[in-house]
């Protein structure tokens, strides 16, 4: 914690108790825990060191507090040796926020009324009914302002930052992780001069548990108020540091054992253990971060390691220049590549069990001016073998897709830009129909995942093994289903159509922005419209959107403008009458009239991203009579799309709006990936 902010010195003029109705109201019993514990008579002070409470504190004079508090704080000034908790505050949270955060009386009274209602309805539990939380939810004040006010109210120092790396792990672990999580507290460090232990707490009313903490550390403690999110995140980091180390070493042992044979001829690398550990940790962390790619990029002065996570590249770490050769050699050995060959690009594979997951890695090297650049694509086999029902389809779409892939013939096209998850959809479809009595052949560029029971071949232009020539030879092997990686030329399109017309189900991808354009693209490639309309069964356009982190997503009331951008009818939305398709969700949808959005700064669960993993949005075009008729007349894509919309097709954006309504993703994400999606 580098910056520690102390609440400003309380203004003695306003300790003069509640003078107006605004100040009086928050003190009413309804405010309960949210505005601090009710004042206790000094005889029932629950704290062990209550005797140390100064006279000024005992009568709750805020004005006297700073002097008594002295150097309390994470900055560690020495003036104050003992934490003196105060059971009561002279002013209530609501009143303080009115002063410090310009909270209006009207909003405060509304929040208090809400609180009363929630508590009446909620029985004994006060979860989520604190005044501060309610005000933050209403965006009336920020979490920081509440914390500052609580600091004043309870006379505790406040810090708005917590750096996990400054926490002493051995000290922190004096209390069990469950206790720390339950009470939202974390032991930070022992002040060198006083031996007092600084403890981060999120809830000022949790001071009673500090007795337990005192016993655990065998000395005095000093609490500091820190936002709950930061504490939880730091708890996860600090307590898992040891676990990660242990896990990493466990993995290394396995890896090194398994690799003893291939390491034998590594005579030129005398001290390879640190390099092996370094490379393993880079891969291990990539898996933990759910990265899809690792980039090892040699620069003039060092080697940069970047991860691609949810399609965003981020730097992970750097290694000094003099290690580049050993690191490169290590990765190449793991991937079964020729380490002596440094001038030509090479491709290889690594397969490992990492953190319980079966990970396939495709390794590609390419020479650059500063050395070999290495890209490792991570394929989590457990994640890819999904069913269609796991991909994020609306129930209606899933039903149609299931029906389509069970047809004996016809072409199913999946379209979208690179990185829109097309291959995953095709694999999911294949694994769903993959039974021993069905003969499935695929031709791919490249083969991304080995699917059990399916013959997969990789195109190889050098030996003239193309998509088209593969389909031609496939047809002699009596397949039921053919998957073609991509249709990008007339010859491939023609072969796919031939296969479909001769009684095969053909799955493939094509590169267009929307579903209707895929139809016109085939015709533009030079395929006769009647051949297209008689073979094409359906086109699925798709995009990936990030999934809101269910642990930290925020409920909010969207503006009419936001709703209009998603084509959600404003009135019906707010009256709760607007209905969308049904989607499978892990977390409950928002209540009527509300949506979820990303929490700025995220939380520990989502590594501060606000999103965890991805889902897809779809536009499913079924070739009906009208679309068929229009295509035969070589109608443009926009007219085709309009016809499909009349027949009930949802655009990508509308499907996205449905997922927003279900709290799966955010308005922001849908707008981002459907920028070109015009009606």
Residues in the site for Zn ion, rule: CB under 5 A? 549, 551-552, 602-603, 605-606
Query: Within the chain, how many helices (H) and strands (E) appear?
Result: 26, 18
User: Closest approach of Cβ 602 to Zn ion, in Å?
Assistant: 4
Nearer Cβ to Zn ion, position 205 or 605? 605
Handedness of CA 640, 642, 643, 644 (dihedral sign): positive
Nearer Cβ to Zn ion, position 67 or 312? 312
Q: Which two tokens stand for residue 23?
A: 């100040």
User: Closest approach of Cβ 226 to Zn ion, in Å?
Assistant: 18
Nearer Cβ to Zn ion, position 355 or 551? 551
Q: What angle do CA 28, 8, 13 make, to 5 degrees?
A: 60
- Among candidate residues 400, 655, 378, the one with its CA nearest the CA of residue 541: 655
User: Closest approach of Cβ 611 to Zn ion, in Å?
Assistant: 8
Are 394 and 658 spatial neighbours (Cβ–Cβ below 8 Å)?
Answer: yes
Are 487 and 532 spatial neighbours (Cβ–Cβ below 8 Å)?
Answer: no
Nearer Cβ to Zn ion, position 397 or 546? 546
- Among candidate residues 628, 415, 407, the one with its CA nearest the CA of residue 508: 415
Are 353 and 339 spatial neighbours (Cβ–Cβ below 8 Å)?
Answer: no
Spatial separation of the C-alpha atoms in residues 372 and 356, rounded to whole Å: 30
Are 411 and 535 spatial neighbours (Cβ–Cβ below 8 Å)?
Answer: yes
Residues 6+ apart with CB under 8 A from 124: none
Nearer Cβ to Zn ion, position 332 or 599? 599
- Among candidate residues 487, 495, 539, the one with its CA nearest the CA of residue 513: 539
User: Closest approach of Cβ 662 to Zn ion, in Å?
Assistant: 18
User: Closest approach of Cβ 606 to Zn ion, in Å?
Assistant: 3
Tell me whether the omega of the peptide bond preceding residue 446 falls within 30 degrees of 0, making it cis. Answer: yes
User: Closest approach of Cβ 608 to Zn ion, in Å?
Assistant: 8
Q: Is 547 helix (H, G, I), strand (E, B) or coil?
A: strand
User: Closest approach of Cβ 610 to Zn ion, in Å?
Assistant: 6
- Strand ranges inside 602-674, DSSP E: 611-622
Nearer Cβ to Zn ion, position 343 or 586? 586
Nearer Cβ to Zn ion, position 310 or 655? 310
Nearer Cβ to Zn ion, position 417 or 601? 601
Residue 322 C-alpha from the chain's centroid? 35
Nearer Cβ to Zn ion, position 546 or 653? 546
Nearer Cβ to Zn ion, position 255 or 606? 606
Q: What angle do CA 163, 165, 170 make, to 5 degrees?
A: 120
User: Closest approach of Cβ 232 to Zn ion, in Å?
Assistant: 10
User: Closest approach of Cβ 233 to Zn ion, in Å?
Assistant: 9
User: Closest approach of Cβ 609 to Zn ion, in Å?
Assistant: 7
Spatial separation of the C-alpha atoms in residues 394 and 372, rounded to whole Å: 45
Q: Is 556 helix (H, G, I), strand (E, B) or coil?
A: strand
């Amino acid at each position: 914690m580098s910056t520690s902010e102390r609440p400003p010195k309380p203004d003695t003029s306003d300790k003069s108790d509640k003078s107006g109705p605004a100040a009086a109201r928050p003190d009413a019993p309804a405010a309960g825990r949210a505005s601090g514990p009710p004042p206790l008579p000094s005889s029932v002070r629950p704290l062990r060191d209550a005797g140390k409470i100064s006279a000024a504190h005992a009568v709750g004079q805020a004005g006297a507090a700073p002097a008594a508090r002295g150097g309390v704080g994470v900055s560690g000034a020495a003036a104050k040796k003992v934490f003196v908790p105060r059971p009561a505050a002279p002013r209530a949270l609501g009143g303080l926020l009115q002063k410090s955060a310009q909270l209006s009386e009207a909003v405060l009274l509304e929040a208090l009324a809400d609180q009363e209602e929630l508590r009446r309805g909620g029985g004994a539990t006060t979860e989520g009914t604190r005044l501060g939380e309610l005000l933050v939810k209403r965006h009336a004040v920020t979490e920081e302002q509440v914390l500052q006010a609580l600091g004043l109210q309870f006379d505790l120092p406040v810090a708005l930052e917590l750096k996990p790396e400054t926490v002493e792990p051995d000290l922190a672990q004096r209390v069990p992780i469950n206790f720390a999580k339950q009470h939202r507290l974390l032991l930070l460090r022992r002040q060198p001069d006083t031996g007092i232990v600084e403890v981060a707490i999120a809830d000022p009313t949790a001071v009673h548990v500090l007795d337990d903490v005192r016993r655990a550390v065998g000395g005095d403690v000093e609490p500091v108020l820190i936002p709950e999110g930061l504490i939880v995140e730091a708890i996860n980091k600090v307590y898992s540091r040891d676990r990660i180390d242990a896990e990493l070493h466990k993995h290394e042992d396995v890896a090194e054992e398994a690799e003893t044979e291939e390491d034998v001829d590594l005579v030129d690398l005398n001290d390879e253990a640190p390099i092996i550990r370094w490379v393993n940790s880079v891969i291990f962390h990539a898996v933990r971060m759910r990265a899809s790619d690792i980039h090892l990029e040699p620069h003039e002065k060092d080697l940069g390691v970047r991860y691609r996570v949810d399609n965003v590249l981020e730097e992970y770490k750097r290694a000094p220049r003099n290690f580049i050769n050993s690191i490169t050699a290590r990765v190449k050995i793991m991937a079964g590549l020729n380490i002596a060959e440094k001038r030509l690009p090479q491709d290889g594979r690594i397969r490992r069990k990492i953190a319980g997951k079966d990970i396939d890695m495709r390794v590609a090297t390419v020479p650059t001016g500063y050395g070999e650049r290495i890209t490792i694509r991570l394929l989590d086999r457990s994640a890819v073998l999904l069913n269609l029902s796991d991909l994020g389809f609306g129930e209606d779409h899933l039903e149609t897709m299931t029906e389509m892939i069970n047809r004996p013939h016809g072409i199913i096209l999946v379209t979208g830009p690179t990185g829109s998850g097309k291959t995953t959809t095709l694999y999911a479809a294949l694994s769903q129909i993959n039974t021993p009595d069905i003969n499935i052949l695929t031709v791919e560029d490249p083969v991304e995942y080995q699917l059990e029971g399916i013959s997969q071949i990789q195109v190889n232009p050098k030996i003239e093994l193309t998509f088209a020539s593969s389909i031609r030879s496939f047809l002699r092997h009596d397949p039921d289903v053919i998957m073609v990686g991509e249709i990008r030329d007339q010859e491939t399109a023609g072969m796919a159509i031939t296969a479909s017309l001769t009684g095969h189900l053909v799955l493939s991808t094509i590169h267009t922005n929307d579903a209707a354009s895929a139809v016109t693209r085939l015709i533009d490639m030079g395929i006769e419209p009647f051949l297209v309309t008689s073979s094409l069964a359906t086109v699925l356009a798709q995009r990936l959107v990030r999934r809101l982190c269910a642990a930290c997503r925020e409920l909010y009331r969207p503006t009419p403008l936001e709703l209009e951008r998603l084509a959600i009818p404003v009135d019906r939305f707010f009256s709760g009458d607007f209905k969308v398709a049904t989607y499978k969700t892990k977390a409950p949808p928002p209540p009527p009239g509300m949506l979820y959005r990303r929490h700025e700064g995220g939380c520990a669960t989502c590594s501060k991203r606000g999103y965890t993993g991805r889902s897809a949005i779809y536009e499913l075009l079924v070739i009906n009579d009208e679309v068929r008729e229009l295509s035969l007349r070589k109608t443009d894509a926009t007219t085709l799309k309009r016809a499909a919309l009349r027949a009930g097709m949802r655009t990508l954006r509308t499907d996205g709006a449905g997922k927003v309504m279900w709290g799966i993703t955010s308005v922001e994400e849908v707008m981002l990936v459907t920028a070109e999606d015009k009606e």
